Structure 1
C-alpha cells in the first residue's frame, strides 16, 4: 500500500470527479499488490463499468471494461492473482449477465453468462478453490437464483439453486467449516423473507428461513464465521421502522441450523444499504443511516457486535452504497458513494475511499448516533384504518348510479431504494398488494435525488413495471418523479406517467427536462402525462412548490390535492392524516383553479418507507378496463377522485357527464347535478363552485344522494365535491367545468 495514501475515517479520498460524470456502486479488490477500484460510470445517458488503480495522484490506469449496453450493479473479486468483474447489462430492452477478468494487466474478452427478461444482482464467491457466479433471473412468472462456476476459458453449467418460486439478490461465501452458504430474499405468503441454503459434500440442504417477524426483509449478506457463516440483512415495517439483523448459521449433524436472529439496531428511517465482509476472527458490517451517514460495526470471534461508528463524512450530504475490503491486520477499506444533500447542487455522485481499523471503530463508537429521531420519517400519529366497502356493496352502489365501468383504487406516488426510499424495486410493487391491497400502483423514484437515475436504472424501472403489471390484478404504470429543485430550479415536483412501456426519462438536468416547457414538449412525443404534487410544499432551504406560471393542459391533467405531507386544496387546511408541513401561500390547488387551469384531483402517499396505500392518500379511477390503457385514459380524462385513505365512494355528474368533464351550455340555463356518496362513516358533502362552498348536505348517514340545480351564474364555473367524515377522512371529486355561450 506504499504507492497510495488513504485518509482515515471520517475523512476519505474522493477518487472520481463529480463535475465530469456520476459514479455509482463502487467496489475494490487487491490486484497483485495494487488497489483496483471499480464503479458504474454514468455519462451522456450511458452507463459503463470503469476500473482504475489507486496511485499517489489518485485513480490511474482507468479503463472502460463493459460492452455496448448500459451497466448495472457491478461487483468484483480477487482470486489467485486474477481480478474478476461481473455486471448486469441492458441493451434495447434485453438483459444479460457479463463477466470479465484482468490477469497480469491483460484483459480477457467479455463472457456473456446468461440472457433473460431480467438478469440482475450478480454476486461472486470462491468455494473449494473454484470461483462461482450467482445472479437473479426474473420473468413475469417469478424470479430464480442461478449459479455457475467460472473459469478463465469458459463458464460452467448453469444450476438453479433456489427452491422458492420467487427469489432475489443472492449472496454466497465459503464458511469457516468449508461448506458453501447461500442466502437470498424470497417472496411468499405475501411477504419477503431471508432464506439460506448450504451445500456440503452430500449436496444441497433444504431452504431455511432466518427472519422471525412479520416485517419484510431486504439485502441479505452472508460472510464466513469460524463454524459456518453469518447472514446480515435489514427489515422494514409499516410504522416507518427498520432494523438491521444478523443470524449465525452452521451445519449440525448434517443439517443446516440457524440461531435466533439478533437485532443489531432498530430505528425509524427511510433508506438503507448494507455491506459485510469477514476474515478469520473478524466480521465487519457497514450500513447507511438515514442516507446521510455510513455506520460501521465489527465483532471478533463470534462475540457481540460493537457499537456503531461513523466512518463516512461528518456532514449532511448523502453517503450510500458502501462496500468493504479487509486488508492486513485490522485494516478496513470502505469504498462508498457520495452525493449532495437537498438543495441546488450538482447531482453527479462520486466514489470515496475511506480507511480505518477496528480500533478506530471502538474509539468512535457511539450508540447515540442511532437513537435520534428523523422528523421527516416519524410516522403520522393518526391510526391508519383502511376502511373500505366490500366488493358486493361497491358493485350495488355502482349499479344504483348507472355505472357499467369499474371503480379502482390505487397509489401513484412513492419511492424505493432506486432513489431515496426503503426497499427494492420489486418489493415496492409486491407491497402494493399487501396491507393496502391496491389495484394499481406507480413507482415514482426521483430523477435526481440523491443522484441522477442512470439509464440502466431507468431500464430496470421500465422492465420491472412491465413484469409486475398484471391485468385485472395490479396495474403498474411506467413513471418517475421530476425533481428540479434538487438540481437548480424551483419549478416544483411533477410525477410523470406513461400509457405503455415506450416512455423515456427526462431528468431535470437533461435538455428535454430542464424546464417545465421542455418537459411538456418531451412528454407529448410519448403520450406522457405529468401531475404536480405537494404543490404548495415549502421545504425551507429550497422550494418544492409548483410554479403555476407554467402549465400545459395537454399533459398536466391532474394535480395532487393531498399526500403524507399536507392537504393542498387551500393554504389554510390541515389534516391529521398528514404531517402538515409548512405551506407556501398562493400555490394551492384552488390557486391553480382560480387561474383557469383544468386539472382533476389525485392523492398519494409519497411513501419513502414502503407505506404506499397506507400512509397519506389514495386515488380512485372510473375505468372501462383494469389495465394500463384503461387506467391511464381514466386519469387523462380526469375521471378520478382523491381520498385521505378511506375508500369512500363518490359520484359527481353534471347533465349526466362524469367528474372531470367540460360542458358548454347557453347562458340562462340551469345546471343539473347528481351527487351520490357512500362513506365509510357518516358524511358531510359540500358542493364547491369557483372555490366557494355553495351547498352543504349533512344526511346523518354514510349515504348522501342528492340532486341540485344551479341557476345563479352565467360565466364559466368550476364545480367539485368535498366530502368530510367524523373520523376526519375526506374525499374530493375531480371538478366539472361549465362554459357559457
Structure 2
C-alpha cells in the first residue's frame, strides 16, 4: 500500500497489543517533556483565539443551504483564529464525513466531503495545529467490521484514508489528542467479547496499540485530555449492576487505573477540562426510582470532581451536597400530585459539558425549555453552574432558543462569554448549526419545580420475577421467555439512553430474555446509517444464546393519509402539522442476527410493500404498533401490539383489533398473534408496562422467530403472568377444526398477584366471564356448543389484583394487571 500523500502516518500493520508502558516509553522518546509543554501552550492560545475571534462577530451559520442531514459536530481552533469544523452527514441511505474551515474573520470556507466508500461512517473527531493542517478521525463500517480511520489535511490536500485499528476487531468512538504534529488516539474496541479502551501511537512508522482499560469490564466512550505536562484518558465501564467513570494517566509516565466516581453509584458519560485550579471531570449519575402506581424511571443528576493532592475530590455546594444539577424538567414525568408527562426533545438532555472562564470552571448542560413542549417545536435552555474555590455557586440560564448545544473547549480565558455551536430546530429533515457567543453578564436566574413522589428502588424487583415456566405441546417442551420487542434509546432522535447501557438495563435490571431496540427510521429527522448500524453492533455484542438475546431492527414510522384522494408519498403526511388527516401506520421491524436493510419510509415513497419485500428477503418479521394501523396482509406481519407503555391500545380501539382478526378470516389470510411492548422513550426497556411472553424450545434467535411466526406468544401489561390457553388441547395461536361444531377451551393462568377475573372473547364478543378471588393460580374451562358454521377466533383476557390506572404519556405502571392469550382460530364444520 502506498503511504498517503503528505502524511507521516504508516501503512497498516496488524501488530499485537503490547504492554502500555513499553509502547508509551517508545512514543515518549519521540515526544519528550518540552514537546508536551509546547502543545499545552499552543492549545491554550488557540482556544483563546477562537473565543476572541467569535466574540467580535454575530452568529455564523456553519452549514448554510445544506443538502444533507448534519449532526454530531466536532470543533477545534488554531493559534491564528481559524476554526475547523467536522460533522456527520447523511443523505438518501448514505453517511458522510464533512469538514470545513471558518477563518478568523468569520468567512466560511468550502465543504470537504472526506468519508469515502463505506457501509456506515461514525461521528468525526477533528484535531488541528495550524490554519493549514488538521486531522480527522472517525469510525467506519465496511462489511462486517468497524474500524478507526484517519485523514490528514496538509498544504491544501487531503491524504488518503489511513486505517488505524486492527482490521479483525470492531473499533468505535475514537478520541484524539495531538503532540506537535502527531497524534495519540484512543478507541473502544471489542476484544474477545469485551469492549476495551485501547490507545494508538506512532513509533518507527507504525501505529502501535496499547491497552488502557482493564480488559475485564466492558469499557466505553473514551476521551483524552492534556493537563499541564500530563495526558489522561477517561472512560466509563460497566460492572453489574453499575457503571463507573475511570481514568488513567498515560504520560509522562503510565499511572494506575483509578475510579473517579463514588463506589456503588451508577455513573457514565464523562467529560474533562484542564484548568489552573486542577484537572476537572464531570459525569452523569443515575438512580432507579419508582413512583405513583408503580411507574419505574431513573433520576438523573450531574456531578463533578477535581484532582488535587493525587486524589479526586468531589465538588460540593455550601451545604456539602455533591449534586450539581437535577435533570428533571423535560426529561422525566412529574408524578405527584398530578402526573404530568413530557415528550421528546431534539437536543441532548444528558450530556455534561465543562468550560473555563478566568478563575471559574463552569458545568453546563442542556434542558428542554418547556416541560410540556412537543418534540418538533420545543427548543432548549443552556444552563450553567460555576465553581468558585471548589464550591458550587448558583446555577444560571445562559441561553435559550436552540437545541444540541456544544461548547467550544477552552483551557482558560479571561473572557466574559462562552462560544457555542448549536442547532436551530430541525426542519424538513435538516439541521442548521450556528456558532455564536453567549454573554455571561446576560444570564438569567435558573428556576425549576420540585419533582416529588419518586422514591429509590432496587432493580430487578424480586417479587415481580417468576421462575422459568414450561408447557408441553405435542410432546415437546417449550420454555417461557420474556421479551420487549419495541424499545428506544438515544439513537432515536427524541429518546435517551446509551445503546450499551440499555442492553445492560434490559438484561440485568428488567430481567428480560429478549430485547429489540427499534429506533425510528424517520421522526422529524432521519435515522442515519451509522445510528442504525451501531445499534445493531451492540445488539450482536450483547447476545449470548441461552442467556440473553438482543436483535437488530428499527421502527418504520410511516404516516398514511386519511383522505382518500391524498398521495401516499406526500411529505405533508409525516411532517408537522400532519396534513391529509394522516395517521400512524408504524411497524416494529425485527431482523435475525444477520441483520437486514434500513428502509426509510420517506425514501421508498411510503410504500409498505417495499418494506415487506426487504424484511421477507432478510428473514425478518414485523409487528403492528399503536391504536391506529392499516395491515398489509403480508406474511411478514406476525403480531398485533395490544398495549405499550403509552396506552392499552386494544381497550382504546377494540374495533380495529377485532376487525384485523376478522380480515384474516375473510381472506383466509395471515393469522396474527398478540404481543405487548414498552415503546419506551424514557430509558426503561422491559419496565415500561408491557411484555411479550414467548414459548420457545431454546433461547436462540431462530427459536424466538419460530415462536413469533407460530403465534406461541401472548401479551401482558408488564407483569410476568403465565398464560397457557388450549382449544381441544391445541395451543393458542393454532387453527383447530371443531367437529360437531363444539370446542372446549381451557385456560391455565398464574399471576404475580391474585387473579381477579378471566374473560373469553369470541369474534369480538365477550361470551364468558368468571370472577376469581384469592388465587394466584387458576384453571378455567368453557365449552362452546352449537357454533355457527365457519371460522371463529377466540382469546382470553385475564386480570389480576391492583388495577394499573391509565396515565398520560409514556407512563404506564411497570407491572400492570392484564394479560391476553393469542387467538385460537376454530373452524366449525
State the TM bucket, normalised to the shorter chain: 0.7 to 0.9
Q: Structure 2 vs 1, CA of residues 403 and 721 (structure 1 numbering), >3 Å: closer, same or farther? A: farther
Distance 1:303 1:587 in 2: 60
Q: In structure 2, which of residues 125, 137, 140 is the aligned counterpart of residue 86 of structure 1?
A: 137
Aligned to 1:68: 117
Aligned to 1:142: 194
Contact (CA 8 Å) 1:414, 1:442: kept in 2 or not? yes
Aligned to 1:669: 741
Distance 1:481 1:15 in 2: 31
Per-residue deviation, 1:403: 5.9
1:417-476 CA distance string (max 9 Å, x none): 111322211111111122211111111111123521111221112222111111111111
**Aligned runs of 1:152-551 on 2, under 5 Å?**
154=205, 156-163=207-214, 164-176=216-228, 178-199=229-250, 201-212=252-263, 214=265, 216-239=266-289, 240-250=297-307, 252=309, 255-259=310-314, 262-268=322-328, 269=331, 271-278=349-356, 281-290=359-368, 292-297=379-384, 299=386, 302-304=390-392, 307-311=395-399, 313=401, 319-320=403-404, 322-326=406-410, 329-340=415-426, 346-359=428-441, 363-368=442-447, 370-371=448-449, 387-388=463-464, 390-391=466-467, 394-395=469-470, 398=471, 404-419=477-492, 420-485=494-559, 486-487=574-575, 490-511=583-604, 514-535=606-627, 545-546=628-629, 548=630, 550-551=631-632
SS at match of 2:599: coil
Per-residue deviation, 1:259: 2.9
Contact (CA 8 Å) 1:333, 1:355: kept in 2 or not? yes
Contact (CA 8 Å) 2:231, 2:252: kept in 1 or not? no
1:322-341 CA distance string (max 9 Å, x none): 3424488344322234453x
Q: CA RMSD in A?
A: 3.4
Per-residue deviation, 1:35: 2.2
SS at match of 1:433: helix
Contact (CA 8 Å) 1:143, 1:168: kept in 2 or not? yes
1:23-55 CA distance string (max 9 Å, x none): 011122224432222111112311111111236
Distance 2:227 2:66 in 1: 42
Per-residue deviation, 1:8: 10
Distance 2:422 2:326 in 1: 22
Contact (CA 8 Å) 1:143, 1:165: kept in 2 or not? yes
Q: Structure 2 vs 1, CA of residues 623 and 339 (structure 1 numbering), >3 Å: closer, same or farther? A: farther
Distance 2:761 2:655 in 1: 19
Aligned to 1:656: 729
Contact (CA 8 Å) 1:570, 1:590: kept in 2 or not? no
Q: Structure 2 vs 1, CA of residues 694 and 170 (structure 1 numbering), >3 Å: closer, same or farther? A: same
Contact (CA 8 Å) 1:307, 1:365: kept in 2 or not? no
Aligned to 2:635: 554
Distance 1:508 1:514 in 2: 5
Per-residue deviation, 1:305: 5.0
Contact (CA 8 Å) 2:86, 2:99: kept in 1 or not? yes
Aligned to 1:578: none
1:132-151 CA distance string (max 9 Å, x none): 21111025621111112359
Aligned to 1:574: none
Contact (CA 8 Å) 1:312, 1:354: kept in 2 or not? no
Contact (CA 8 Å) 1:95, 1:117: kept in 2 or not? yes
Distance 2:260 2:702 in 1: 39
Q: In structure 2, which of residues 59, 71, 75 is the aligned counterpart of residue 24 of structure 1?
A: 71
SS at match of 2:148: strand
Per-residue deviation, 1:380: 14
Contact (CA 8 Å) 2:728, 2:745: kept in 1 or not? yes
> For this pair of structures, how many residues does the alignment match?
691
**Aligned runs of 1:545-584 on 2, under 5 Å?**
545-546=628-629, 548=630, 550-571=631-652
Per-residue deviation, 1:637: 1.6
1:80-113 CA distance string (max 9 Å, x none): 6632221111112221111223234333333211
Contact (CA 8 Å) 1:414, 1:612: kept in 2 or not? yes
Distance 1:414 1:18 in 2: 34
Distance 1:552 1:349 in 2: 37
SS at match of 1:311: strand
**TM-score normalised according to structure 1 size:** 0.85
Aligned to 2:294: none
1:192-225 CA distance string (max 9 Å, x none): 11122234645312322414564x3331111113
Distance 2:558 2:405 in 1: 24
Contact (CA 8 Å) 1:181, 1:222: kept in 2 or not? no
Aligned to 2:658: 590
**TM-score normalised according to structure 2 size:** 0.76
Could you list the runs of 5+ residues in structure 2 that have no partner in the other structure?
1-48, 290-296, 317-321, 333-348, 369-374, 560-573, 666-670, 804-816
Distance 1:366 1:297 in 2: 10
Contact (CA 8 Å) 1:126, 1:173: kept in 2 or not? no
Per-residue deviation, 1:19: 6.3
Per-residue deviation, 1:165: 2.2
SS at match of 2:537: helix
Aligned to 2:714: 641
Q: Structure 2 vs 1, CA of residues 199 and 462 (structure 1 numbering), >3 Å: closer, same or farther? A: closer
Distance 2:401 2:606 in 1: 31
- 1:603 paired with 2:676, answer yes
Q: Structure 2 vs 1, CA of residues 662 and 400 (structure 1 numbering), >3 Å: closer, same or farther? A: closer
Q: In structure 1, which of residues 727, 737, 740 is the aligned counterpart of residue 825 of structure 2?
A: 737
**Aligned runs of 1:688-703 on 2, under 5 Å?**
688-700=761-773, 701-703=775-777
Contact (CA 8 Å) 1:690, 1:717: kept in 2 or not? yes
Contact (CA 8 Å) 1:23, 1:337: kept in 2 or not? no
Contact (CA 8 Å) 1:339, 1:450: kept in 2 or not? no
Per-residue deviation, 1:256: 3.7
Aligned to 2:23: none
Could you list the runs of 5+ residues in structure 1 that have no partner in the other structure?
536-544, 572-584
Distance 1:389 1:298 in 2: 42
1:367-422 CA distance string (max 9 Å, x none): 22x44879xx99999x9967446437x35xx3699761111012112111111322
Contact (CA 8 Å) 1:116, 1:138: kept in 2 or not? no
